[in-house]
Chain A
Amino acid sequence: MKTAGQYRYIYKPLLFAACAAPAVWMVLGMLMALGKTGFGMDLGADPVSRLIHACGITALRLLLITLAITPLRMLTGWNNLIRLRRMLGLFAFFYVLLHFTVYGWLDQDLNLAAIGADIVKRPYITIGMAGLLLLIPLAVTSTNKMMRRLGRRWTKLHKLVYVIAALGLWHFWWQVKKDIREPLIYVLIFAVLMAFRLKGKFWPTRAPERT
């Protein structure tokens, strides 16, 4: 099978399944909490808060994996990995939306006044909301057609993902009560991934292969 076929029929479906798995696990967890299934994510005594956190952390992980594609290509020369990046980014957006939906609907019961007050008054929520909004233009312009239409401006626009990831990490850091070890790990990974970009800018390692 040619590379394009391998990606289309093997790697992309596998990646799709892997990216969808946390959401399936969460839904099974909700069903389990309702006594409908015997397995799923253990949502514990505070299921909604657990769901919000699980969606947020999954989104952050996917964002970091998306940002890891370029360094991985630099290190390994596997340029075809770029074919997987859009799906990773879109799934990150999906989990950010889910994160906000669970918060707004299941936690705040669609109380728009309370949600609005949170967004305006709580800096960590303001920051998170900014990240969500900034992801929208990236998701909208993720199609091949939009890539062609925007040309070089597409690349520029999609550099916003660095800002979005930083906002997401800040949002995570700021709501932790005292124990910053977990967000710190994420920030360090982000820093390493960004360092590769600076390195790539100043010392281009290898010419990209034709794919």
Chain B
Amino acid sequence: MNYRANRILPSEITSEHLYFNRRQLLAAGLGGATLAALGASPRAFSSERVLASLKAPQNAAMSISEKPNSYEDVTTYNNYYEFGTGKGDPVANSGDFKPEPWSITVDGEAEVTGKFALEDILKQQTLEERIYRLRCVEAWSMVIPWDGFMLADLIKRFKPTSKAKYVEFTTLYDPKRMPGQKYQVLNWPYIEGLAMQEAMHPLTLIATGVYGKELPNQNGAPLRLVVPWKYGFKGIKAIVRIRFTEKQPVNSWQEAAPNEYGFYANVNPNVDHPRWSQATERLIGGSALFAKRRNTEPFNGYADQVASMYKGLDPRRLY
């Protein structure tokens, strides 16, 4: 699969840009600007990157049958503190971000280590589409059609040694390109980790696209992690480093608030976040007036595939 195939002409994109700006344009014309001070903050859409089509065939066996959220939901409602802490900040502030050239440093307990150009990593992977549920620790959820490949396939190429018990991922640190990093909201760069068995699980995905197109900046371009049975914050974005370790990594949210966010972060309706309930979740993009709620499922509905990995471990320790 050629990653750079099917480039869309910039002229074709302009209309979409205007389309997404339509509300803002209308609102501004009708006094929205004056009301902004009273609590209305129009979203800005500034993504200028041209996103190539990926044409990845769907892996139906690994996809759920629920209807995905709209492309607009998926690309305008994001938690990505590198571009700001508001849900609309990533799309508003990531427009100038250029995820190229991009390389990934692989180090730690593996035989094949070094710095690899993204192109070299991707040309050996075959992309497929997988429709996954995404459950945020903030008790909302979406359904997203990702395009990507199994992390396991990538890891095998680096030949981790027997000492490699965990995989640690690091996001790019570049406050000039990621303005949210100018504030010490989290201890940058963002770090996430998985136990080796979790990393090798066939559900664990490295996504390079969403909805059949390259990942927009606000969704973690050029590549991100997707672990559908864990809370969304495990899905680290804009990865620049993969390190194999013997010791359990300290992920950023665990470091920030260890009593609220753990290492495993498996979706679990029975273990509440200290400040809010995890029993139910609000479905993003439901009705405009009434929020749709549903009961959260253990392991976000993926218990059949993943629960066996955690046998013998106290589920209360797996938050």
Question: Do residues A22 and B35 form an inter-chain contact, with CB atoms below 8 A?
Answer: yes
For residue B308, give the distance in angstroms from its CB to the closest CB of chain A: 32
Chain A residues with Cβ below 8 Å from B98 are none
Chain B residues with Cβ below 8 Å from A118 are 277
Partner of B43, one of A42, A122, A177: A42
Interface size on B, as a range, is 35 or more
Question: Do residues B85 and A179 form an inter-chain contact, with CB atoms below 8 A?
Answer: yes
A25 within 8 A of B: yes
Chain A residues with Cβ below 8 Å from B68 are none
Question: Do residues B35 and A25 form an inter-chain contact, with CB atoms below 8 A?
Answer: yes
CB-CB contacts below 8 Å: A14-64 with B: 18, 21-22, 25, 29-30, 32-34, 38-49, 54, 57-58, 61
Chain B residues with Cβ below 8 Å from A33 are 288-289
For residue B274, give the distance in angstroms from its CB to the closest CB of chain A: 9
Question: Do residues B81 and A179 form an inter-chain contact, with CB atoms below 8 A?
Answer: yes
**Contact bitstring B270-291, A, C-beta under 8 A = 1, else 0:** 0010011100101011001111
Partner of A44, one of B38, B81, B87, B277: B87
Question: Do residues A34 and B85 form an inter-chain contact, with CB atoms below 8 A?
Answer: no
Interface size on A, as a range, is 35 or more
Question: Do residues A48 and B38 form an inter-chain contact, with CB atoms below 8 A?
Answer: no
CB-CB contacts below 8 Å: B232-276 with A: 256-257, 272, 275-276
CB pairs A–B below 8 angstroms (21 shown):
A21-B38, A30-B289, A34-B289, A39-B27, A44-B43, A44-B76, A46-B140, A46-B282, A46-B284, A47-B289, A48-B289, A106-B290, A121-B272, A121-B277, A122-B276, A122-B277, A123-B275, A175-B276, A177-B85, A178-B256, A179-B183
A-B contact sample (20 more), CB < 8 A, given A107-B293, A118-B277: A21-B38, A22-B40, A25-B35, A25-B38, A29-B40, A42-B41, A42-B42, A42-B43, A44-B43, A45-B72, A47-B289, A54-B40, A61-B38, A106-B291, A108-B293, A122-B275, A123-B275, A177-B138, A178-B185, A178-B257
Chain A residues with Cβ below 8 Å from B288 are 30, 33-34, 43, 47
Interface residues of A (CB under 8 A from B): 18, 21-22, 25, 29-30, 32-34, 38-49, 54, 57-58, 61, 106-109, 114, 117-118, 121-124, 174-175, 177-179, 181
B24 within 8 A of A: yes
Q: Give chain B's interface secondary structure class.
A: loop
For residue A94, give the distance in angstroms from its CB to the closest CB of chain B: 14
B5 within 8 A of A: no
For residue A110, give the distance in angstroms from its CB to the closest CB of chain B: 10
A41 to B26, CA, bound (A): 11
A22 to B32, CA, bound (A): 11
A-B contacts, CB under 8 A, total: 110
For residue B22, give the distance in angstroms from its CB to the closest CB of chain A: 8
Q: Give chain A's interface secondary structure class.
A: helix
A45, A46, A121 pick with most chain B CB within 10 angstroms:
A45
For residue A105, give the distance in angstroms from its CB to the closest CB of chain B: 8
Going nearest first, the 6 A-B pairs with the smallest beta carbon separation are A33-B288, A45-B77, A179-B85, A48-B291, A45-B73, A39-B30
Question: Do residues B293 and A57 form an inter-chain contact, with CB atoms below 8 A?
Answer: no
Question: Do residues B289 and A106 form an inter-chain contact, with CB atoms below 8 A?
Answer: yes
A174 to B276, CA, bound (A): 11
A61 to B37, CA, bound (A): 11
Supposing A45-B285, A47-B288 touch, asked if A39 and B26 sit within 8 A by C-beta, the answer is: yes
Chain A residues with Cβ below 8 Å from B289 are 30, 33-34, 47-48, 106
A181 to B84, CA, bound (A): 12
Chain B residues with Cβ below 8 Å from A39 are 23, 26-27, 29-30, 32
